[in-house]
Structure 1
């Protein structure tokens, strides 16, 4: 006669953990969720009891029950730019300290892909979303995400006026200071390279124009060269600038990547950056210190900016009803050989 197979063991529950730790079920639940409401010695006892009986917390199931998670979605528009990689490191570091997991997605400036990514994060019950918007993102997106009940922080690229949370840098002030430095060094034919229509581009261009006016220098439309904020954009726009008569002697760049492209164009022509033609970038990415020659830049400390953005998101998650949260990094001139 065949033996009846033994019944599988009953799955462990938080009731078992509560019994082993000598606390209530609600206390166990709060400890497993990382709540600060429980004293550390009690929390340690609960974790030790869970480990001793072999209980494993099913965070995904808990997330589904709560319709939220410990995941913060971060949507980046251009990971080819080291600025955003450094920014992401700062975000991830700060969120990890608060026991949040970063779920990153890259849109490559594609609005359709951005829509799909945001929808996916909604379906995965993201606790919050930090968004570097793709070019052309409509301001109405803020209301759309809010309607989902998910906190949204817009970062780096503004979506115009509104009461949404925002973390970025004082772009107008940064390009004003860069242009003012060029003017003080005796340059009057100063180009502005890179950037396309949009709030960030407009802010940086506005600072350039403001400095020219402040020093009584007439703006020349041919010195403003709109281009993709890439190395290729910087390379091409600098070539266009060098073809002008009289030839300009300096350029303020939309970002560091554009400036690195400009340095390549100068090197190809045998023009010494810093001595024969001055270049200043914007962002302060690590690569600027090792450019040839080392690149002067308006430093906004990308990693620190990322940490500040994460802090705003954590503050919003703690206080959902708080007023608008905002952080603006103050750019500082990091002067090196090129400028």
Structure 2
């Protein structure tokens, strides 16, 4: 049970020492990561610090409240080229404004994401940009707000309020792609990629909406979920064809899923745009150079990153602003795949 800390006062290293029943110097060594302290003792100190809400700030005390020029950015999947392009736009805008970007990769791991965010807090980041890992609790923005650090969430939402957000009109984009395939004469259209979450639900809703507009019933056998990466796209395209669903086209959750699907078609001796139609979502730079070039929904990743940076900079300049949002309007880019 945490020991009392004077009302209104932040916990100090002395409070942690008393809570863990060790000396102040032991607490200091543990927080600095010294190997001289036995692991059992170190764990007791870390647990005491967590119970008290104590945060170790690596800067000297006299710099604790000095303005920082560092922005922390935590991304969920840097293997996806979409996020690399978002980061370029984000960093360019922040550097122009005089900030240095500290980037971390969560690998869709909630514990790693938490570690990265807390480390950036310790580094006294002036602001945070987060693309949440799958399963991130909706309460996270409130937690960051309690730290006193401005936050912009990108791409994936976390609830509907309490934070600035930059993303895309997902349902509208998926509906555009589906309508195009319907207009080309396809009636058995698959939906490939994504796992449970708001983005998947929104893009699937757009797909269903376009089918309903044409009076075509939704068939769950045409919808396959997997992690939205190349392997997932490859496996899902094969599964869709192996099921004997009669599918002649597919809307892919994102471009990297579509790249995997293109590979699966090639391995079967089929060509996208001739034997089977495919569309992606994002319009990463590689989409124009796929084999064949990929038809996709363009949400301009670099611009999205720049807009996210603009939201954060505005929040830093004026913490009292009303909630800000940016949704990239989707555009259909037609190439040879479908």
Q: Does the TM-score normalized on the shorter chain lie above 0.5? A: yes
Say which is worse superposed, 259-268 or 161-170, in terms of deviation.
Answer: 161-170
Q: In the superposition, relative to structure 1, how do residues 63 and 327 fare at CA in structure 2: closer, same or farther (>3 Å)?
A: farther
Instruction: Find the counterpart in structure 2 of residue 155 from structure 1.
Output: 154
Mapped partners of 1:80, 1:338: distance in 2: 23
TM-score norm. by structure 1 comes to 0.81
Instruction: Find the counterpart in structure 2 of residue 171 from structure 1.
Output: 170
Give the drift of 1:272.
1.4
**Contact 1:193-1:237 within 8 A present in 2 as well:** yes
Mapped partners of 1:90, 1:70: distance in 2: 18
Instruction: Find the counterpart in structure 1 of residue 87 from structure 2.
Output: 88
Q: Does 1:201 align with 2:206?
A: no
**Contact 1:145-1:152 within 8 A present in 2 as well:** yes
Q: In the superposition, relative to structure 1, how do residues 91 and 61 fare at CA in structure 2: closer, same or farther (>3 Å)?
A: farther
TM-score norm. by structure 2 comes to 0.81
Instruction: Find the counterpart in structure 2 of residue 321 from structure 1.
Output: 320
Instruction: Find the counterpart in structure 1 of residue 105 from structure 2.
Output: 106
Unaligned runs of 5+ in 1: 1-59
Instruction: Find the counterpart in structure 2 of residue 129 from structure 1.
Output: 128
**Contact 2:150-2:316 within 8 A present in 1 as well:** yes
**Contact 2:166-2:326 within 8 A present in 1 as well:** yes
**Contact 1:63-1:69 within 8 A present in 2 as well:** no
Mapped partners of 2:293, 2:67: distance in 1: 46
Instruction: Encode CA deviations 1:265-323: one digit per residue, 9 max, x unaligned.
Output: 00000111001100000001001111100011101111111000000100111111000
**Contact 1:63-1:125 within 8 A present in 2 as well:** no
Mapped partners of 2:62, 2:154: distance in 1: 26
**Contact 1:75-1:105 within 8 A present in 2 as well:** yes
Which runs of structure 2 are paired with 1:1-339 in the superposition (5 Å)?
A: 64-339=63-338
Q: In the superposition, relative to structure 1, how do residues 66 and 289 fare at CA in structure 2: closer, same or farther (>3 Å)?
A: same
Instruction: Encode CA deviations 1:28-60: one digit per residue, 9 max, x unaligned.
Output: xxxxxxxxxxxxxxxxxxxxxxxxxxxxxxxx7
Give the drift of 1:247.
2.3
Q: Secondary structure, in 3 states, of the residue corresponding to 1:197?
A: coil
Mapped partners of 1:139, 1:245: distance in 2: 40
**Contact 2:64-2:124 within 8 A present in 1 as well:** no
**Contact 2:87-2:305 within 8 A present in 1 as well:** yes
**Contact 1:178-1:252 within 8 A present in 2 as well:** yes
Give the drift of 1:65.
4.2
Give the drift of 1:62.
10
Mapped partners of 2:90, 2:60: distance in 1: 26
Mapped partners of 2:276, 2:241: distance in 1: 10
Give the drift of 1:202.
0.7
Instruction: Encode CA deviations 1:171-197: one digit per residue, 9 max, x unaligned.
Output: 110001000111111100000000000
Give the drift of 1:148.
0.2
Q: Secondary structure, in 3 states, of the residue corresponding to 2:258?
A: helix
Instruction: Encode CA deviations 1:61-89: one digit per residue, 9 max, x unaligned.
Output: 79924244111101000000000011001
Mapped partners of 2:72, 2:279: distance in 1: 33
**Contact 1:71-1:128 within 8 A present in 2 as well:** yes
**Contact 1:160-1:199 within 8 A present in 2 as well:** no
Q: CA RMSD in A?
A: 1.3
Q: In the superposition, relative to structure 1, how do residues 121 and 68 fare at CA in structure 2: closer, same or farther (>3 Å)?
A: farther
**Contact 2:70-2:102 within 8 A present in 1 as well:** yes
Mapped partners of 2:255, 2:154: distance in 1: 18
**Contact 1:139-1:160 within 8 A present in 2 as well:** yes
